[in-house]
Amino acid sequence: MQSTPLLRLGTRGSMLAMAQARLVQRLLAEAHGVALEDIAIRVITTSGDRLTDRPLSEAGGKGLFSKEIEAALEAGEIDLGVHSSKDLASFLPDGLMLAAFLEREDVRDAFVSLKHASLEALPQGAKLGSSSIRRGAQMLRARPDLEIVQFRGNVDTRLQKLEAGVADATLLAVAGLNRLGKQDKITAYLDPQAFPPAPAQGAIGIEIRSDDTRTAELVAVLNHAPTATSIAAERALLATLDGSCRTPIGAFTELNGVSCRLTAEILSPDGREFYRDSVEGEAAEAARLGTELGQRLLEAAGPEFQKQFEG
């Protein structure tokens, strides 16, 4: 009987984060023929979890849901961090790497309302709850009459806010609702071509220390190559745009055998100004395609557009 676990996994404590961590725990235990308890789960409270009084974009942007987990990794307190890949900063801390991705869930956003069947069906001036500036910008582009109201909290909290009438509708990631078994809450699905989701949305990423070859070998069995290809493209795009929570960025990757097509857009927060483009090439060149598309978008938008996100 092992006195120490085979692996120590770090995660946030939300219901969705725990569902994702338990999935990784089960898959690792099955892959290596060990008991569930041999893949230990450590719950780590992050800055994003503590911040409930204002939008994430005002408090440092991306990385707020991962930096404490990354600190535990760097300190050797855990062997791997399990993340919603869309929450990770554009650049990982030195000495850390994304070693594996589980097969990607549905990337789309869900329109959720207790009273209205779709975005188009919302009455003039309706309130749409979202703390994502990408979602807010995309909604205002489609429906400039809408009022965007701040909507922080986990899935259940947001659903409760809908019931309380804080907003007429909200948007949630389909992947999260699926993983929580709450597909029945989805009123309508948004077309990812018209409303590209957040880069890396729907993908569970496993982060480890770059020099930890033992853990790298143990988690490699979980890596889903097509997902890794898509995320390589989208994270390269993000890094080129230096995407933070302040910059509304949408991205959608389509893989077809050995080819990869990446579509992305950047928007002004009010949705009035946006730039969209696509690139296509070999899947093996996914990261290069992401970089190329990011550069194209920056060139099209120009420095004046970018200045609104500085500071």
**Digit-coded pLDDT (tens) for 189-201:** 999 999 999 999 9
Return mean pLDDT, the chain. 92
Structure tokens at 218: 């143990």
Nearest to 215 by CA among 3, 1, 5, 2: 5
Cβ-contact 81, 66 below 8 angstroms: yes
- Measured in whole angstroms, the distance separating CA 179 from the mean position of its chain's CA atoms is 14
Flag whether pLDDT at 60 surpasses 90: no
Number of domains in the chain: 3
Give a yes or no: residue 195 inside a domain.
Answer: no
Same domain, 253 and 143: no
Q: Where are the alpha helices (DSSP H) in 171-269?
A: 174-179, 213-219, 225-241
Same domain, 96 and 207: yes
Same domain, 119 and 72: no
- pLDDT, residue 178, reads 96
**Structural domain containing residue 182:** 109-189
**Digit-coded pLDDT (tens) for 87-134:** 999 899 999 999 999 999 999 999 999 999 999 999 999 999 998 999
Q: Given CA atoms 152, 306, 126, 176 in this order, what sign does their dihedral have? A: negative
pLDDT class of 51 with cuts at 50, 70, 90 = low
d(CA 292, CA 308): 22
Query: Which residues are known to be catalytic?
Result: 87
Structure tokens at 73: 């990794």
Same domain, 214 and 74: yes
Cβ-contact 283, 255 below 8 angstroms: yes
Structure tokens at 41: 């789960």
Cβ-contact 87, 70 below 8 angstroms: no
Say whether 278 sits in a helix, a strand or coil.
strand
Same domain, 14 and 155: no
Structure tokens at 287: 């990261």
**Digit-coded pLDDT (tens) for 259-278:** 999 999 999 999 999 999 99
Same domain, 78 and 217: yes
Same domain, 156 and 239: no
Same domain, 85 and 116: no
d(CA 139, CA 55): 17
Q: Any idea which residue has 């200045």 for tokens?
A: 307
Structure tokens at 187: 């009123």
Question: Phi, psi at residue 132, to the nearest 5°?
Answer: -90, 125
Segments of the chain assigned E as strands: 7-11, 39-43, 80-84, 96-101, 109-112, 127-129, 147-149, 169-173, 188-189, 204-209, 249-256, 259-267, 274-282
d(CA 43, CA 297): 38
* CATH number assigned to the domain comprising residue 251: 3.30.160.40
Give a yes or no: residue 183 inside a domain.
Answer: yes
Flag whether pLDDT at 245 surpasses 60: no
